[in-house]
Copies of this chain bind each other. A is one copy, B any other.
Amino acid sequence: MLRALSADGGGSRFNPLVVVELASNTKEEAIAWLLSRIRDTQQNGGAELLVEQLGPGVDAQEKENPNMFLVGATWQRLLSGAEDVGLFREFHDGSMRGFTCANKHNFKDFKGDGDSFLSMAECQYIIKHELDTLRAKDETHVPGYNQVKLYPGKSIIRRLLSKGILIQVFPLHEKEELKRLSFSWYQKVKLSFQPLDDIRHYYGEGQALYFGFLEYFTFALVPMALIGVPYYLFDWENYDKYVIFAAFNLVWCTVILELWKRGSASLAFRWGTLSRKKAFEEPRPGFHGVLGFNPVTGREEPLYPNTKRQLRVYLVSLPFVLLCLYLSLYIMMIYFLMEGWVLSAHNAEPTFWTGILCFIPSIIYAVVIEIMNLIYRYAAEFLTEWENHRLESSYQNHLVLKVLVSLATLLITSQILNQLMEAFLPYWLQRRRNKKMIRKVQKRKTLEDKELPLADQVRLEADMSTYLGTFDDYLELFLLFGYVSLFSCVYPLAAVLVVLNNITEVYSDAFKMCRVFKRPFSDPAANIGVWQLAFEAMSVIAVVTNCSLIGMSPQVKAYFLDSDTQLILWTVAVEHGLLAFKFILTFLIPDVPKHIQINLARLEFESLEALKKKKMLEASEVSKTVQ
């Protein structure tokens, strides 16, 4: 019944890009309404996209969901969509400009009728944007569902999603391209840089920036690793040189973070996201409030008073986080006490069993911490959801903040234990996770390698796990950075281990992106966002921990035998000096390379000049008319 193709798209030309999966028990009238809204012309407030129902699979099963739809679009529609989302591409003169259909032929890669101008990831992003901005007109509710209210301007897809009628919207993989990408990315054995441009082409800028950062971070740690090895091998007990090593590390951490800002600006400039004007950000699907008029857009949408949110943040979330911090410190104290008892018991009567007993507190502590961490993570997500942030970005910021506050404590805690085992704990946990994942994939692999018909391929992908964004990936890198920077002076091998880990990390992350997860929608990011701030904050804390660790070391104390005061004053002075140096360095290194600054300035200058010229032309025309 709904199988009919869109009026202006022949069956052979239809190129499915995005899958829309509705609940299997969705009412017919709601489906018919949704499809007609998606197909309707833009003048009528529709999305003007092509939709087709997915047929049953070859070995169709009873429980198969019939309500899966493939969405595509004509090239003209995609190009006008590219203009809507504000895509930046290289102009024929080498500068980056906002794409417009009117002068499409002046863009460098626009050839013929432009059907290879947009990457598939971009097309899918455009379709997602057009679906997201498909708004209710005068409908008061979704047909067939009186309780699912709509109001003029409400995003239809978001409402269906938040009410569970729409299960998921996801982009399709492109098997050929994926095969090529995965070959050049992780199946080739030869040592080389990652194909960042290809990754960006397939997964979008957000993903490519993550892998770019991972690669940059790995290379940036190599000098620290190289210097760390001889320290570990020869001079373990010589703290003189450790001071120099630690000072080098601190400065190096600052420099690499600053240089990454420049590197990421270069990448984002090349990919056109640096100067892209963001469209007005929509509320998150989970955001709720009383209906009112948005003061910016004038559209009717839920409003939630800022003061109420602030109260929730400062009166509930903040005390909760502080309480958890206190609790984790308290548990650490208990652990120390336990270890003290066990050790004294072992020293009093050393037997095999007391020897084993010595490990018990560490094991209990590790388990408790892992469980607490898990619980805390859920609580943090719940609280951040409850705080009811309007924007996805501010939701992410608050979540990252909460998780990091707890992790910084854990990090310091677990490093005070500073046994090799504990240092390897997260590494080992991650390995385990990877292994689990690989096993899960192996099962599916046999299925995947066969050339499946479209219907089965789509159903297979719909069944794959959803990639939940780069949060956990960045978190892992952040923890590793913490190990390297916070305790570099007592643990010179950290950088080596992290470099080794990162090399496998690239392969396992690439593997999971290509084989384990549904393809994610591309995210036109210009930088790594709140994580840059988190890494920088960590490098500030690192100055404090390193200075105090060096100050506490017996070798340094030996220099100040007669006066503890002198020692501490020197330590504090050095720390303040390093901090000041760090801030000055951050200030002195420009965030955007000079040639990109010039390029951006040129674009702005030209648009100002064009505006002036236009005005002048208008004025002279007016004067002609008057004459």
Contact = CB atoms under 8 A, between A and B. Distances in A.
Contacts of A280: 601, 604-605, 608
Interface residues of A, number: 35
B83 A615 contact: yes
Contacts of A605: 280, 296-297
Contacts of A83: 615
Chain copies in complex: 2
Contact of A594 (B306, B576, B616): B306
A400 to B, nearest CB: 14
B42 A615 contact: no
Given A601-B296, A619-B101, A84 B612 contact: yes
A43 interface: yes
Contacts of A564: 564-565
Contacts of A279: 608
Interface in A432-486: none
A618 interface: yes
Given A544-B576, A568-B572, A296 B43 contact: no
Contacts of A43: 620
A100 interface: yes
A602 interface: yes
Nearest to A612: B84
Interface string A536-567: 00000000100000000000000000001100
Nearest to A541: B580
Contacts of A102: 615, 618
Contacts of A569: 568
A326 B80 CA distance: 64
A288 interface: no
A149 interface: no
A594 B309 CA distance: 14
Contact of A602 (B80, B277, B295, B572): B295
A75 to B, nearest CB: 14
Nearest to A572: B572
A598 interface: yes
A84 B42 CA distance: 37
A598 B306 contact: no
A568 B297 CA distance: 56
Contacts of A568: 565, 568-569, 572
Interface in A79-138: 80, 83-84, 100-102
Interface string A595-625: 0001001101100100010011011100000
A615 B100 contact: yes
A47 to B, nearest CB: 14
A100 B569 CA distance: 62
Contacts of A608: 277, 279-280
A581 to B, nearest CB: 14
Contacts of A42: 616
Contacts of A616: 42
A44 to B, nearest CB: 13
Contacts of A620: 43
A336 to B, nearest CB: 20
Contact of A296 (B80, B101, B295, B602): B602
A83 B297 CA distance: 26
Interface in A134-150: none
Nearest to A100: B615
Contacts of A615: 80, 83, 100-102
Interface in A356-382: none
Interface string A562-595: 0011001100100010000000000000000010
Nearest to A607: B277
Contacts of A594: 306
Nearest to A564: B565
A588 B43 CA distance: 44
A296 B84 CA distance: 28
A269 to B, nearest CB: 15
7 contacts: A279-B608, A296-B601, A296-B602, A296-B605, A297-B602, A564-B565, A572-B572
Interface of A: 42-43, 80, 83-84, 100-102, 277, 279-280, 295-297, 306, 544, 564-565, 568-569, 572, 576, 594, 598, 601-602, 604-605, 608, 612, 615-616, 618-620
Given A84-B612, A295-B598, 9 more contacts: A43-B620, A80-B619, A100-B615, A279-B608, A295-B602, A296-B601, A297-B602, A544-B576, A568-B569
